[in-house]
A and B are shown apart, each in its own frame.
Chain A
Amino acid sequence: MEKFYKKWFLPLALPAILLFVGVILIPFLVGVLYSFTGWRGAYFVGGGKNPFEAFVGISNYVKALHSEKFMNALVYTLKYTLIATVWINAVGLCLALLVNKISRGAGLFRTVFFMPNLLGGLALGFIWSFIFEIVYSKFVFGVDGLIHIPFLTNMTQDNTKALFALVILVSWQMGGYMMMIFVNGLNGISQDLYEAARIDGANAFQVFRNITVPMLMPAFTITFFLTLANSFKLLDQNIALTDGNFGTRMLATQILRTTRDTNPPDYGMAQAEAVIFFVMIALVTLLQVYLTKRKEIEA
C-alpha cells in the first residue's frame, strides 16, 4: 500500500502544486524582487525589460514610508482594525449570548443575523452609503430628524466619521458570522460547570467572567483571527463608502491606487507597500494566534 501511495503522490499532487507555484509562490517571490527595482509596469527604469539591471536598493521602501498617503493609510488601517476587531467581537458575542438564552425561534434569529455576511461588500456598501448620506443625515440624526446627533450625519464625508461608518457597516455584516462561531463555542461548554457555579452561589457576572469567557477562548482565537484579517485587508466596503476620499484610504485601497496616483505608474513603490503590508499581516496574525492559543492552554 505504501508503494501505491508513493507512486501516485506526485501525479495526484501535481495540479495543486502547479496552481500553488504559478499563482502564489512565483508571483510572491517576483513581487519581493520587483519591490527593489524601478518597476513601472511595462518596463524597468534603467533596465528596459530586465529587472536585474534595474535595482534601486531600498529606495521604494523609503519612498513608501515617506509617502503621506501610505502612512495615512497605515495609521487609518491600524485605527480601524483596533476598533472594528473589538466591536465586531463584542457584537458577535452579545448576539450569541442572547440567541442562546431562548429556545423558540433561535434558528430564525440566527439565520437573519447571519444573512448579511453572504452578500458582497461592494453591493452592501452602496446601500449603506445611501443610508448614511440620506437616511441618517436627513431623517434620523439630522437637524429635523428623530434625534439630532451631528456625529451620525454626513458620515461618508469626514475622515473620522467615515471610520465609524465603516465599523457600523462591517459589524452589521460580520456580526452574525462571529455569532455563529460563539454559539458553537457556547454549546460546547459543559452544563456541569454552570451547575457547580450556581451551587457555589456565583452571580451571573462571576459565571460569565470565570466560566463563559475562559471556556470560549478557542472561539476567540478564531473570531479574532477572522476579524483581524478581514479588517486589515478591507477593500470593497472602503471603496463603496468613500472611495478612499477625505484621507480614508485603507492599506488595501492605497496599494491598489498607488499605481493610479503616479505617472508613469510606480509599480515598484506599490510593490514595496505590498511587501510591508504582507509583513504586517503575517506578524500580527502570528502574534494573535500565539497569544490567544496561550490563553486557551491556561484556561
Chain B
Amino acid sequence: MTVTRSLTALLTLGAAVALAAQTPQAPAPQPPSTQQPEAITTTITGPPGLPPKIAVPDFIALSTDAETVAAAKAIGETLWDDLNFEREFYLIPRDTYRSIPQPASADQVALDRWKELGADGVVVGTIRKGPSGYVVEVRLMQVSGGRVAFGKQYSGSVNSVKDGGRVYAHTAADEIHQTQRGLRGVARTKLLFSSDRDGTRMKGPVGEREISNIYRSDYDGANQTRITYTASIDITPVWSPDGAQIAYTSWRSGYPDIIVQSMTTGTAPQKPAKGSPEVQNYLPAWSPDGTKIAFTSSRDGNQEIYYANRDGTGLRRVTNHPSIDVTPTWSPTGQQIAFVSDRTGRPQIYVVNIDGTGLNKITNEVACDRPTWSPAPFNEIAYTSQSGGGHDIRVYEFSTGQTRTITDGNGSNESPAFSPNGRHIAFSSDRSGREQVYIIDRDGKNLRQITKTGRNRYPNWSQ
C-alpha cells in the first residue's frame, strides 16, 4: 500500500530525537537538541478559508505494561490540547473517536473511517518500552491519500512518562506547528509565578503575614513546582531568555532586592543590583539578549529605571525625574524601555531609549501599570489599566496607536506577560475569589485558569 511505503520512507529519514528525562530540576524551557531540517512535501490543509481538521486519538501502546498503556492515552490527550491551543487547526473532539477502533500498529490505520469523521489529518502515534527507556513515534497523516505530512521518532529515559509523557506530546506539537504552519508553538514553554500556597507565615509587626515564593509550571498549568524557599516574599519572577536563570524581587534581607538564581545548577543566588537598606531594588526585567537586567531603584533619592549587566557591572541610569518611574520592560531590540511614571499625575506608560533620550508617553488613561513588550512579529505593549472598580489587561499597538481591551471587566486583572510567540498573555485575576494566574489569547479568547491553590500572581512566560 502507498500508506505503508511512505510511512517507512519517512521514518527512515527522520532522525531520532533523544529527550532528556524530565525531572523537576531539569532546565525546563530548553528544547531538545534540534535536528536537520527535512524537506516537507505534504501540508495538511482544510477547505479554503478554514483551518485543517485534525484528529488526535490515543497513541498505540506497543508494550502491554500499565505505565506504557497509560502514557499512550495521556500523550494523545496532551497533544490534542497542545495542537488546539494555537488555534491553527480545528481539533476534532476526542469523544467522537469511539466508533473508530484503535489499530494494532501504525500501519493499519483506517483512514476511510477518519475521512468519514471529517478529518483532513490524523495523528498516529505509538509508544514502546525498551530496555533503556521509551521510543515514541508520531506521524501526522493526510487522510485522503495517506501521505505522511510529519513523522518523527523520539526516545527518552524510563522516567520520561512519569508525568504522562508530556515532553513527547509537547515536542511533537511544537514541531508540527513549525513544520505545518511555520509557527513557533509554546508547548514546551514554562510559566513562573509567585504563590502563597505553602501556607507558611512570617512574623509581622501586628499579626503574621503570608509568605510568597516562586513557583514554576508547564504553559498549561501542569507540573506546578516550588522553586524558592524563603520565609519572606519572593515576587515578580522573570525567566532569562535562555531559561537557565530566573530573576525576582525578594525581601529576604529585610528590604526588596533583585535575586538572580540558576535553574540548572546549585550556585549561590546573585544580587546584581547590590541592594542594602539604603539601596532598594525591585521589578527586574531581562533584556532580550539576556545580557542585562533592568530594574527600579531609589538609590539616587527616588524611584528611577536602571539597568546593569547580569553580574551587576555596567550600571546605567535610564530615567531622571522626581516622580515615580517604575516597572521597566525591554523592547524586542533591546534599544528601548517602556516603564510607568506618574510625572503627569496618575501613572501612565512611557517609552524611552535606553540612553534616556526620546521619551514618549503612550497611554492617557485613568491609571496604567506593568507594561510588557510583545515579541516580534507583533509590536505591542500589554499593560494593566484601571477600569471601573478594578483593572483590565489592555494592549497598545505601535503601528496604529490604538489600544484594545483583552479582559472583559470580570474581576481585577493585572500583571500581563506575553508568551514567546506573542499570541497569548498570562495575567493574574481575582475573578474567581483569590488572585489566580490565567492565560488568554491576544484577541481575548480562550481564557484558561492555570492555578487554583492559594493566591498566585506575577506570571512570567519563558522563551
A and B associate in one complex: no
Taking beta carbons and an 8 Å cutoff, which residues of A are in contact with B?
A: none
Taking beta carbons and an 8 Å cutoff, which residues of B are in contact with A?
A: none
